[in-house]
Structure 1
Amino acid sequence: MASVNSPGILIGDGWLLFATRCSRMFAYGLLSVVLMLYLVEVGLKEWEVGLMLTLTLIGDTAISLWLTTNADRIGRRRTLLVGALLMALAGVIFLATGNFILLVIAATIGVISPSGNEIGPFLSVEQAALSHIVADDRRTDVFAWYNLVGSFSMALGALAGGLIAEASLHFGLQGAAVYRPILWAYAAIGAAMMGGFALLSSAIEPSAKTDPLRKTVLGLHESRWTVFKLSLLFSLDAFGGGFVIQSVIAYWFHVRYQLDPAMLGTIFLFANLFAGLSALAAGWLARRIGLVNTMVYTHLPSNVLLILVPLMPNVYWAISVLLLRFSISQMDVPTRQAYTMAVVQPDERSAAAGVTAVARSIGGSISPLLATIFIGSPAMMSLPFFVAGGLKIAYDMLLYRAFASSEAQSKTKEQTP
Structure 2
Amino acid sequence: MSPAARLLIAARALRAFGDGVVALLLPLHLTALGFSPVQVGALTTATLLGSAALTLLVGLVSHRLAPRALLFAACGLMLATGLAFAGVKDFWVLMLVGFVGTLNPSGGDVSPFLPLEQSLLAHAGPDADRTKLFARYSLTGSLAAAAGALALGVFDRLGRGVGLDGLQIGRGLFLLYGGIGLAVALIYRQLPKIAPEAEPPRTPLGPSRPQVLRLAALFSLDSFGGGFIVQSLLALWLFRTFGLSLQAAAAFFFWAGVLTAFSQLAAGRLAKRIGLVNTMVFTHIPAQLCLIAAAFAPNLPVALTLLLMRASLSAMDVPARTSYVMAIVTPAERAAAASVTNVPRSLASALSPSLAGVLMTASPFAWPLVIGGGLKIAYDLALLGLFSRVKPPEEQASA
> Normalised by the size of structure 1, how large is the TM-score?
0.92
Is 1:145 equivalent to 2:129 in the alignment? no
Alpha-carbon offset, residue 191 of structure 1: 1.4
Contact 2:71 2:188 in 1 (8 A): yes
Superposition map of 1:225-236 within 5 A: 225-236=210-221
**Cα displacement string for residues 70-101 of structure 1 (whole angstroms, at most 9, x for unaligned residues):** 22311111111111111111010011110112
Aligned to 1:245, which of 200, 215, 230? 230
Equivalents in 2 of 1:246, 1:313: separation in Å?
Answer: 21
Equivalents in 1 of 2:73, 2:107: separation in Å?
Answer: 20
Aligned to 1:350, which of 335, 351, 357? 335
Counterpart residue number, 1:124? 115
**Cα displacement string for residues 156-190 of structure 1 (whole angstroms, at most 9, x for unaligned residues):** 00000122123322322224223222112111101
Contact 1:243 1:371 in 2 (8 A): yes
Counterpart residue number, 2:97? 106
Equivalents in 1 of 2:281, 2:351: separation in Å?
Answer: 24
Counterpart residue number, 1:318? 303
Counterpart residue number, 1:165? 156
Is 1:186 equivalent to 2:177 in the alignment? yes
Ranges in structure 1 where 5+ consecutive residues have no aligned partner: 1-9, 212-218
**Cα displacement string for residues 192-213 of structure 1 (whole angstroms, at most 9, x for unaligned residues):** 11111122122398725457xx
Contact 1:129 1:204 in 2 (8 A): no
Counterpart residue number, 1:384? 368
Equivalents in 2 of 1:265, 1:341: separation in Å?
Answer: 34
Counterpart residue number, 1:7? none
Equivalents in 1 of 2:141, 2:85: separation in Å?
Answer: 24
Aligned to 1:92, which of 83, 101, 105? 83
Change (3 A) 1:260 1:228: same
Contact 1:27 1:157 in 2 (8 A): yes
Equivalents in 1 of 2:83, 2:202: separation in Å?
Answer: 38
Alpha-carbon offset, residue 354 of structure 1: 0.7
Contact 1:133 1:203 in 2 (8 A): no
> Normalised by the size of structure 2, how large is the TM-score?
0.96
Which stretch of the first structure deviates more once superposed, 397-406 or 40-49? 40-49
Is 1:207 equivalent to 2:199 in the alignment? yes
Is 1:294 equivalent to 2:279 in the alignment? yes
Equivalents in 1 of 2:187, 2:60: separation in Å?
Answer: 22
Change (3 A) 1:329 1:208: closer
Alpha-carbon offset, residue 317 of structure 1: 1.0
Equivalents in 2 of 1:185, 1:255: separation in Å?
Answer: 27
Contact 1:151 1:275 in 2 (8 A): yes
Superposition map of 1:46-61 within 5 A: 46-61=37-52
Alpha-carbon offset, residue 262 of structure 1: 1.0
What amino acid is aligned across from residue 387 of structure 2 in structure 1? F
Alpha-carbon offset, residue 322 of structure 1: 0.4
Which stretch of the first structure deviates more once superposed, 152-161 or 115-124? 115-124
Aligned to 1:285, which of 236, 250, 270? 270
Root mean square deviation of aligned Cα: 1.7
Equivalents in 2 of 1:208, 1:272: separation in Å?
Answer: 34
Contact 1:233 1:395 in 2 (8 A): yes
Counterpart residue number, 2:385? 401
What amino acid is aligned across from residue 325 of structure 1 in structure 2? R
Equivalents in 1 of 2:64, 2:365: separation in Å?
Answer: 46
Is 1:18 equivalent to 2:9 in the alignment? yes
What amino acid is aligned across from residue 357 of structure 1 in structure 2? N
What amino acid is aligned across from residue 108 of structure 2 in structure 1? N
Contact 2:72 2:188 in 1 (8 A): yes
Contact 1:143 1:338 in 2 (8 A): yes
Q: Secondary structure at the match of 1:34?
A: helix
Equivalents in 1 of 2:366, 2:393: separation in Å?
Answer: 37
Superposition map of 1:252-271 within 5 A: 252-271=237-256
Change (3 A) 1:313 1:209: closer
Change (3 A) 1:45 1:204: farther
Which stretch of the first structure deviates more once superposed, 272-281 or 200-209? 200-209
Which stretch of the first structure deviates more once superposed, 56-65 or 224-233? 56-65
Superposition map of 1:331-346 within 5 A: 331-346=316-331
Contact 2:295 2:369 in 1 (8 A): yes
Counterpart residue number, 2:315? 330
Equivalents in 2 of 1:407, 1:101: separation in Å?
Answer: 47
Aligned length: 398
Contact 1:290 1:409 in 2 (8 A): no
Equivalents in 1 of 2:37, 2:262: separation in Å?
Answer: 34
Which stretch of the first structure deviates more once superposed, 69-78 or 223-232? 69-78
Change (3 A) 1:127 1:143: same
Counterpart residue number, 1:68? 59
Is 1:39 equivalent to 2:30 in the alignment? yes
Equivalents in 2 of 1:209, 1:178: separation in Å?
Answer: 46
Alpha-carbon offset, residue 256 of structure 1: 0.8
Q: Secondary structure at the match of 1:74?
A: coil
Equivalents in 2 of 1:260, 1:99: separation in Å?
Answer: 26
Q: Secondary structure at the match of 2:284?
A: helix
Change (3 A) 1:414 1:308: farther
